[in-house]
Amino acid sequence: MAERFEARNILITGAASGIGLAVARLLAAEGAGRLILVDRDAAALGALDLGVETQRVLGDVADERMWDDVDLSGLDHAVVNAGIAGAGPIATLDFAEWRRILSVNLDGAFLTLRAAMRAMAGRGGSIVLTASAAGIKAEPGVAAYGCSKAALIHLAKVAAKEGAGDGIRVNAIAPAGVETPVWDAVPMFAERVAQIGRDAAFAELAAMATPLGRYAKAEEIAEQIAFLLSDQSALITGTTLLADGGYTL
Ligand code: NAD
């Protein structure tokens, strides 16, 4: 039986860590022909060994000029995934911090999506944007991050309508907590890790507001992204898969 991603050319941003890395590993194992892996972490990107043909692109997804040099010919799938976390109440949030988060999470996603849709024009393909449950449920302190992810959910819908005529499907996934290094940048989490250890800190966070009582593993989210990319979801477009353990209920 043919593998789901046999000989497919696939772009993944934020591929050197967390969810992006788990997707890259899964798609490599499922027959991908060429992975185009974008990340700004040179050491982590250089260390990747996935056993398939890879094109590594070191750069910032929010840098418009970077995309001019990325060869996306023959692109079949794209995972628009690079993102950063950041928190702070609106009243005290620096404009520079707002811009920093919107720049990577929204501008970077737009530039990635545009490049992918240009490469897929006339030949079709499928795209998944990594949004977040924070883009659906309002919580204090997540204005910048939450708005960037709410925008991605809408961007997926607009892109789905625009791409449909070309056979391009575009969907989003909205996880709540996922056990990845992105949390290390959250001071409250780093403090708890120092006090009680990483696993217990994740368990404590999940217990606060996740009915199913735990955060996701990156590999679980990767499986769901692969489903949305694959021909198994051939009639699904413009949707957001809420993969949040019930957090938004
Ligand atoms: P991660 O920090 O483990 O991985 C993110 C990767 O993106 C890193 O390798 C980083 O170097 C790269 N990156 C960041 N900014 C970049 C830029 N400007 N240009 C190129 N590469 C860049 O985090 P993760 O949890 O795997 O996050 C992946 C996506 O999932 C993000 O969009 C994040 O917002 C989203 N998400 C994460 C969670 C969670 O709890 N971990 C929940 C919901 C959504």
Q: For residue 78, give the CATH number of its domain.
A: 3.40.50.720
Question: Would residue 201 count as lying in a domain?
Answer: no
Question: Would residue 138 count as lying in a domain?
Answer: no
Segments in the chain below pLDDT 50: none
Question: Would residue 198 count as lying in a domain?
Answer: no
pTM for the whole thing? Answer: 0.98
pLDDT at 1: 61
Question: Would residue 117 count as lying in a domain?
Answer: yes
pLDDT at 123: 95
Which amino acid, one-letter code, is at 41?
D
Question: Would residue 36 count as lying in a domain?
Answer: yes
145: annotated active-site residue: yes
**Catalytic member of 67, 145, 202, 247:** 145
pLDDT at 218: 98
Nearest to 77 by CA among 46, 47, 35, 111: 35
Residue of 147, 182, 202, 205 to test ligand 1 pocket, by largest number of atoms within 8 Å of CB: 182
Question: Would residue 195 count as lying in a domain?
Answer: no
Cβ < 6 A, ligand 1 pocket:
13-14, 16-20, 38-41, 44, 60-62, 81-84, 104, 108, 130, 132, 175, 177-178, 180-182
Question: Would residue 140 count as lying in a domain?
Answer: no
pLDDT at 186: 86
How many domains does one find in the chain? 1
How far, CA to CA in Å, does 25 sit from each of 4, 32, 191?
14, 10, 31
pLDDT at 94: 97
Which residues, other chains included, contact 56 with Cβ-Cβ below 8 Å and sequence gap of 6+?
Answer: 37, 39, 45, 46, 48
Nearest to 109 by CA among 57, 54, 154, 152: 152
Question: What is the whole-number distance in angstroms between the Cα of residue 122 and the centre of ligand 1?
Answer: 30
Task: Provide the domain limits for residue 237.
Answer: 9-85+100-132+155-178+216-241
Question: Would residue 4 count as lying in a domain?
Answer: no
